[in-house]
A and B are shown apart, each in its own frame.
Chain A
Amino acid sequence: MNLRRTFAISRRIASGFRRDHRTVALMFVAPVVILGLLGWVIRDQTPAPTRLSVVNLAGPVGERMADALANAAADAGLEPGPGLADEAAARAALADGGVDLVAILPASLPGDLVAGSPTLRVLSPGLNPTDDATRLATLQRVVAAAASGQVALPSIEREQVFGSADGDFLDAFAPALVGFFAFFLVFILTGISFLRERVGGTLERLLATPIRRSEIVAGYGLGFGLFATIQVAVIMAFSLGHLAVPAIGPLPAFTIGLGIHNAGSPGLAFLVTLLLALGSVNLGIFISTFARTEFQVLQFIPIVIVPQGLLGGIFWPVSSLPDALEPVARVMPLTYAVEGLREVLVKGSDLGSPTLQLDLGVLAAVAVLLVVVATLTIRREVA
Chain B
Amino acid sequence: MNSDSAPFPAIETAGLTKRFGRITAVDSLDLSLPAGRIYGLLGPNGSGKTTLIRLLVGLARPTSGTARVLGVPMPSRPNLARIGYMTQADGIYTELSVWENVRFFAALFGIHDADRLREVLEVVDLADRRNTPTLELSGGMRRRLSLACALVHRPDVLFLDEPTVGIDPALRVQFWDYFRRLAGEGSTLLVSSHVMDEAERCDELLLVLHGRLLAQGSSRSVVERAGATDLEGAFLRLGAAEPGE
Given contacts A19-B95, A201-B88, contact A208 B57 (CB under 8 A): yes
**Bound complex: CA of A381 vs CA of B20, how far in Å?**
12
Task: Classify chain B: how many residues form its interface, as a range.
Answer: 20 to 34
**Does the CB pair B87–A204 fall under 8 Å?**
yes
**Does the CB pair B59–A15 fall under 8 Å?**
no
Within 8 A of B (CB), among A200-218: 200-202, 204-212
**A382 on interface, CB distance cutoff 8 Å:** yes
**Does the CB pair A12–B96 fall under 8 Å?**
yes
Chain B residues with Cβ under 8 A from A16's Cβ? 93, 95-96
**B118 on interface, CB distance cutoff 8 Å:** no
**A51 on interface, CB distance cutoff 8 Å:** no
**A380 on interface, CB distance cutoff 8 Å:** yes
**Does the CB pair B89–A201 fall under 8 Å?**
yes
Chain A residues with Cβ under 8 A from B100's Cβ? 12, 15
**What residue of chain B has the Cβ atom nearest to residue A2's Cβ?**
B110
Q: How far is the CB of B63 from chain A (nearest CB, A)?
A: 11
**What residue of chain B has the Cβ atom nearest to residue A213's Cβ?**
B77
**Bound complex: CA of A210 vs CA of B109, how far in Å?**
7
**B85 on interface, CB distance cutoff 8 Å:** yes
Q: How far is the CB of A383 from chain B (nearest CB, A)?
A: 6
**Bound complex: CA of A201 vs CA of B87, how far in Å?**
7
**A8 on interface, CB distance cutoff 8 Å:** yes
**Does the CB pair A211–B108 fall under 8 Å?**
yes
Within 8 A of A (CB), among B71-106: 75, 77-78, 80-81, 83, 85, 87-97, 100, 104-105
**Does the CB pair B108–A382 fall under 8 Å?**
no
Given contacts A15-B96, A205-B149, contact A212 B77 (CB under 8 A): yes
**B186 on interface, CB distance cutoff 8 Å:** no
Q: How far is the CB of B36 from chain A (nearest CB, A)?
A: 22
**B60 on interface, CB distance cutoff 8 Å:** yes
Given contacts A208-B80, A380-B58, contact A19 B91 (CB under 8 A): no
**Bound complex: CA of A36 vs CA of B34, how far in Å?**
68
**A121 on interface, CB distance cutoff 8 Å:** no
Chain A residues with Cβ under 8 A from B80's Cβ? 208-210
Chain B residues with Cβ under 8 A from A19's Cβ? 95-97, 133
Chain A residues with Cβ under 8 A from B105's Cβ? 205, 209
**Bound complex: CA of A200 vs CA of B88, how far in Å?**
10
**Bound complex: CA of A244 vs CA of B16, how far in Å?**
73
**Does the CB pair A204–B59 fall under 8 Å?**
yes
**B107 on interface, CB distance cutoff 8 Å:** yes
**B61 on interface, CB distance cutoff 8 Å:** yes
**Does the CB pair B20–A209 fall under 8 Å?**
no
Cross-interface CB contact of B75 among A4, A5, A380, cutoff 8 Å: A380
**What residue of chain A has the Cβ atom nearest to residue B80's Cβ?**
A210
Map CB proximity to B onto A1-29 as digits: 1 under 8 Å, 0 otherwise: 01011011001100110011000000000
Q: How far is the CB of B154 from chain A (nearest CB, A)?
A: 14
Cross-interface CB contact of B104 among A8, A200, A204, A380, cutoff 8 Å: A8
Cross-interface CB contact of B107 among A8, A200, A202, A205, cutoff 8 Å: A8
Given contacts A208-B85, A382-B59, A383-B20, contact A201 B107 (CB under 8 A): no
**Does the CB pair A210–B77 fall under 8 Å?**
yes
**Does the CB pair A12–B88 fall under 8 Å?**
no
**Bound complex: CA of A205 vs CA of B84, how far in Å?**
9
**Does the CB pair B88–A380 fall under 8 Å?**
no
Within 8 A of A (CB), among B198-241: none
Cross-interface CB contact of B95 among A5, A20, A211, A380, cutoff 8 Å: A20
**Does the CB pair B93–A202 fall under 8 Å?**
yes
Chain A residues with Cβ under 8 A from B87's Cβ? 201, 204-205, 208
Q: How far is the CB of B197 from chain A (nearest CB, A)?
A: 26
**Bound complex: CA of A5 vs CA of B81, how far in Å?**
13
**Does the CB pair A5–B96 fall under 8 Å?**
no
Chain B residues with Cβ under 8 A from A20's Cβ? 95
Chain A residues with Cβ under 8 A from B109's Cβ? 209-210
Given contacts A5-B108, A8-B108, contact A380 B96 (CB under 8 A): no
**What residue of chain B has the Cβ atom nearest to residue A208's Cβ?**
B85
**What residue of chain A has the Cβ atom nearest to residue B58's Cβ?**
A380
**Bound complex: CA of A202 vs CA of B87, how far in Å?**
9
Chain B residues with Cβ under 8 A from A12's Cβ? 93, 96, 100, 104
**Does the CB pair A205–B20 fall under 8 Å?**
no
**What residue of chain B has the Cβ atom nearest to residue A212's Cβ?**
B77
Most chain-A Cβ atoms within 10 A of its Cβ — which of B20, B95, B97, B108? B108
**Does the CB pair B95–A4 fall under 8 Å?**
no
**Bound complex: CA of A206 vs CA of B85, how far in Å?**
10
Q: How far is the CB of A18 from chain B (nearest CB, A)?
A: 9
Chain A residues with Cβ under 8 A from B75's Cβ? 380-381
**Does the CB pair A381–B95 fall under 8 Å?**
no
**Does the CB pair B60–A382 fall under 8 Å?**
yes
Map CB proximity to B onto A210-229 as digits: 1 under 8 Å, 0 otherwise: 11100000000000000000
**What residue of chain B has the Cβ atom nearest to residue A20's Cβ?**
B95
Can you list 19 pairs linking A and B with CB atoms under 8 Å apart? A4-B107, A5-B108, A11-B107, A12-B93, A15-B96, A15-B97, A16-B95, A200-B90, A204-B89, A205-B149, A208-B83, A209-B108, A210-B77, A210-B80, A210-B109, A381-B59, A381-B61, A382-B60, A383-B60
- Chain A interface (Cβ < 8 Å from any Cβ of B): 2, 4-5, 7-8, 11-12, 15-16, 19-20, 200-202, 204-212, 380-383
A-B pairs, top 7 by smallest CB distance, nearest first, are A201-B89, A8-B107, A201-B91, A205-B91, A16-B95, A208-B85, A209-B108
